[in-house]
Amino acid sequence: MYIGDMFARKNQFKPGISCFVLGPRGTGKTFWLRHLFPSAVFVDLLEARTFNMLAADPQRLGKLISASTDGPIIIDEIQKLPSLLDEIHRLIEAHNPWFILTGSSARKLRRSGVNLLGGRAVTKHFHPLTAAELGDSFDFDKAVRFGLLPSIYDPRKHVLPDEYLQSYVQTYLKEEVMQEGLTRNLSSFSRFLETASFSQGQLLNISEVSRECQIKRKLAESYFGILEDLLVGVCLPPFQKRVRRRIIQHPKFFLFDAGVFRAVRPRGPLDAPAEIDGASLETLVLQHLRAVMSWRNSEGTISYWRTSTGLEVDFVVYAADAFAAIEVKRKRNITSHDLNGMRAFASDYPEAARIILYGGDHKEVIEGIQLIPIATALPVLERIVWPGLESTRQ
């Protein structure tokens, strides 16, 4: 839904509750916070003068706060100056001001002191746009091809999606890694990034990735860690509750956005479009599930399920308020063979809702499995996975 000059996001903030808001660059964290809190004290650590002032003397932050209204104090890109967390902690203990701390990298925060806030700040995650947030502006084919980063859908920016995504990969996924000092060899990281894109939606085999891009396994492992720390890489664990069969233990790897994945993924004459489209489709569903869980403040997990015999369910949402197995199929017609993974999962977990999101155009129920066209499912995915439940946001 479009309000004023932007799309309304579903992420909300409970007054007085300090929090970290973590998400990749370009997902709209800063823009949304400026919209929600136009009179807030806003400290931008990407601004050199502000950064240098607070780096020299963190206690100067208190002087900025003294002019605050009842709204929050928003500190943008807190990972740029983790030492500021000590002063924030002191201020919270002394005066209990309301802080919202945004970040696009978990590495420096984790290593330098998120825990210094002593549990006084909750952690929220910010994701690309969703179909529900775009409303009538949601274009399924465009989303599969270009993903859902907000700049692509901002009518004021007039960006060319392909050019924007290539720039995003170059300036963020590569140059940001160098600026953060996360690697000294950009060429090896670039080779790794392209090679890793072939693992999108696949079981993660770090040894194979390291061989393909001709780097040591330990280095490849650290590079995957960098992607996770920058919040652009996602590793899904296997679902292992009440295990009754032999289950594959390797995680599955995803880049966080379908458009970013396609921008990173090399394409040539021998690449089957269906293979890339299938991975994009799965990514699109995953990023919606992650976004919904975040804005619902749902304490749970998203995982996958695969047996040693190859029976598989793409996603398992397991939370206090939801238990659902979700398969993503690009094809328009579902056969009995396509239901085998769901049948096996239902045998082990009859309590779970079973949902297949597919490329067809009609809904039906087969053996208790809901078949729902994916293009119409994404805008109402919250109601499908959490049926009959209202959003519980803070």
Can you tell me the distance from the alpha carbon of 313 to that of 325, in angstroms, rounded to the nearest whole number? 7
pLDDT interval class at 116 (50, 70, 90) = low
Asked whether 355 and 327 are in contact (CB, 8 A), the reply is yes
pLDDT value, residue 393: 42
Can you tell me the distance from the alpha carbon of 176 to that of 231, in angstroms, rounded to the nearest whole number? 13
Percent of the chain scored above 90 by pLDDT? 65
pLDDT value, residue 158: 87
Q: What is the largest CA-CA distance in the chain?
A: 67
pLDDT value, residue 391: 43
Percent of the chain scored above 70 by pLDDT? 90
Can you tell me the distance from the alpha carbon of 330 to that of 374, in angstroms, rounded to the nearest whole number? 9
Question: Mean pLDDT for the chain?
Answer: 89
Mean pLDDT of 3-22: 82
Domains detected in the chain: 2-125 (3.40.50.300), 132-229+257-272 (no CATH)
CA atoms within 13 A of residue 338's CA, in its CB half-sphere: 19
Can you tell me the distance from the alpha carbon of 271 to that of 280, in angstroms, rounded to the nearest whole number? 14
pLDDT at 4 over 50: no
* pLDDT tens digits for range 31-63: 999 999 998 899 999 999 999 999 999 999 988
Mean pLDDT of 96-111: 84
pLDDT at 217 over 90: yes
pLDDT at 362 over 80: yes
Taking each helix axis from N to C end, the angle separating 186-197 and 217-229, rounded to the nearest 10 degrees, works out to: 80
pLDDT at 349 over 80: yes
Give backbone dihedrals phi and psi of 57, rounded to 5 degrees, phi first: -150, 90
pTM of the model: 0.92
pLDDT value, residue 112: 59
pLDDT value, residue 275: 83
pLDDT value, residue 117: 67
Mean pLDDT of 310-322: 95
Asked whether 280 and 270 are in contact (CB, 8 A), the reply is no
Mean pLDDT of 139-151: 96
* pLDDT tens digits for range 167-206: 999 887 676 776 665 666 778 888 899 999 999 999 999 9
DSSP string spanning 39-52?
TSEEEETTSHHHHH
Alpha carbon distances (Å) from 42 to 33, 69, 101, 345, 381: 10, 12, 10, 49, 34
pLDDT value, residue 267: 82
Structure tokens given for 388: 């009959």
Can you tell me the distance from the alpha carbon of 378 to that of 218, in angstroms, rounded to the nearest whole number? 38
Among 141-155, 169-183, 237-251, 261-275, top mean pLDDT goes to: 141-155
